[in-house]
Structure 1
Amino acid sequence: MEEFFTKDNQVIAIVIIGTLLLLLMGGALLTFFFFSRKKIVEKELEKKSLEINHQKEIIESIIITQEEERKRIAQDLHDDISSKLNVINLNANLLKDGELKHEEYSTINNTILETTGKTLESARKIAHNLLPPILDKFGLKDAIEELADSFSNSRKINIKYNLEYTKAYLIPEKELHLFRIVQELINNSVRHGKAKNSILNINCTSKSLLFTYSDDGCGFDVKSQHHQKGLGMKNIESRIAILKGNYAIETALNKGFKITITIINPSK
């Protein structure tokens, strides 16, 4: 009988120990899942925080770009338009006052006509910079070709291009953003990259648009805060975000520059 109770106690002890082990294992699993879930939530919050900060940077970049554009337009209006209108106004007042010799009258009249012509040309240039007429009338492909050819003809940089772009593939608003990106990239190649040659390609499929641009300029350190936060790159980045695209940059000091932009579902 004593042996039976001893065996019975052993069984009870084994059951109790087993139960305790199961409880410990369950507690350990619950703790593991709790902390794992906590880490996942923290990672998600961190990701969301980064996305929010990124969106803030893009919005700030857009605002800064708009303000810079307004300043540039105001400066152009002041330098090119206002100064010429002042000349016209002064000469018109001379005509109004009278008592001029024939030669003086002829000189003033010619000055007014010449300055008026220059003023109209300045106004056309400002309007062209705001919205190139060729982009509005003929679309992105022709606008980029004209832009590239104008730079090549000026000998500032030689641009080769291959534009497999179907007319109206992007809506007009998106075409303007992509055109501005091309402008910014070419200007950066000339002003900062000191490039002599560049290549521009566009390829379209039913699902995406692939844009690549490269030059043989001095390039830059991609880790440099100056280039990461520079207005030019931020302007490009903000426009790519508006296009709902993504991009990758390949560059290094004295190794040229290349950017690849992919726009998925461009019709949306």
Structure 2
Amino acid sequence: MAQSSPLDLYILIFGGSIAMLLLASGVVGFIFLYQRQIIRRDFAFKEAEAKHQQELYHGTLNAIESERKRLARDLHDEVGASLSALRLLVGQMQQRSNEDAIIEINSNKCKVLIDKTIDNVRRISNDLLPQGLEEFGLAYAVEGLCEKTMEISKIEISLRIEKMNSISTKISLNVYRLIQELLNNAVKHSEATNINLTLKIRNHILEIDYTDNGKGFDYAEAYQKRSLGLKNIETRTEMIDGSTKFETKPNDGLKLNVKIPLNANNQSQMN
């Protein structure tokens, strides 16, 4: 058998090197594609999980609003009516027992207590289901909310609402809750003394502008901590396909712009 020439040996070494390089490239390519597929699956899983959590949160908010509506009507129709009837009976007792001073005194005490209870029932019912929202619209309900906030705090609220067409109940309720969250935060945390609030419709977009002179906060830090107030505002806006823009920093108050697109159904129908 003839001995291999140096050329054959070089060819063998070169061919083997090429084969090893191709094999290594194939292994690296397979690993890269496999890792890419894993990343895609992981991203799709996280995206689906986030979407599922968002749907759960939206469903929870909708369920809460439904339960609030039921409780508000039960309070108004049953508890409120019973208390009103009880007050009438106490008044009749008092008229028939004017000669008995003790009965008259106790009747007066009962009437005061019943009146306070009726007021509390109305307040709770209004918190659960905004008074006049379904009957008279968003502007009426927001005006009442601002008046109530000024009554219980030292905050002066400047409210401007441009003439609006009818807006769907879903959007109206979420906007009301959003504004309610802002005002509650202002009363409890911001130390604000002045609030400017504007609602207007431009090019089929409901726009809300809110500013206060409170102490403000670090938005990035609050967002990282997933502040419940911020989350409620953002989530309620997302539920009606809107967007939010916060501007704030410590000792510089808060500015918030909310834009909510309105279609023909949202503006002309009360769902």
Residue of structure 1 in register with 2:173 after alignment: 176
Contact 1:61-1:234 at 8 Å conserved across structures: no
Residue of structure 1 in register with 2:38 after alignment: 38
Residue in structure 2 matching 1:167, options 147, 165, 168: 165
- Alignment of 1:197 with 2:218, yes or no, is no
Amino acid at match of 2:35: F
Contact 1:92-1:112 at 8 Å conserved across structures: no
Amino acid at match of 2:213: D
Residue of structure 1 in register with 2:212 after alignment: 215
Contact 1:216-1:256 at 8 Å conserved across structures: yes
Give the aligned CA root-mean-square deviation in angstroms. 5.2
- Per mean C-alpha deviation after superposition, the further-off stretch among 57-66 and 140-149 is 57-66
The CA deviation at 1:91 is: 3.9
- Alignment of 1:10 with 2:10, yes or no, is yes
Q: Deviations over 1:180-209 (max 9, x none)?
A: 221231232123322111122345444644
The CA deviation at 1:227 is: 11
Identify unmatched segments of 5+ residues in structure 2.
264-271
Contact 1:203-1:211 at 8 Å conserved across structures: yes
Q: Distance in 2 between matches of 1:140 and 1:100?
A: 48
The CA deviation at 1:257 is: 2.2
- Match of 2:178, SS? helix
Q: Deviations over 1:18-48 (max 9, x none)?
A: 2331222122122112112222322332343
The CA deviation at 1:213 is: 1.5
- Match of 2:260, SS? strand
Amino acid at match of 1:90: V
Q: Distance in 2 between matches of 1:223 and 1:81?
A: 49
Amino acid at match of 2:236: R
TM-score, normalised to structure 2's length? 0.65
Residue of structure 2 in register with 1:21 after alignment: 21
C-alpha spacing 1:39/1:128, structure 2 compared with 1 (3 Å): closer
- Alignment of 1:259 with 2:245, yes or no, is no
Q: Distance in 1 between matches of 2:127 and 2:215?
A: 27
TM-score, normalised to structure 1's length? 0.66
C-alpha spacing 1:10/1:232, structure 2 compared with 1 (3 Å): closer
Residue of structure 1 in register with 2:155 after alignment: 157
C-alpha spacing 1:22/1:43, structure 2 compared with 1 (3 Å): same
After superposition, residues 12-161 of structure 1 pair within 5 angstroms as 12-57=12-57, 59=59, 86-93=86-93, 98=96, 100-101=98-99, 129=127, 131-132=129-130, 134-145=132-143, 147-148=145-146, 156-161=154-159
- Per mean C-alpha deviation after superposition, the further-off stretch among 19-28 and 246-255 is 246-255
Query: How many residues of Structure 1 are paired with residues of Structure 2 in the alignment?
Result: 264
Percent identity over the alignment is 24
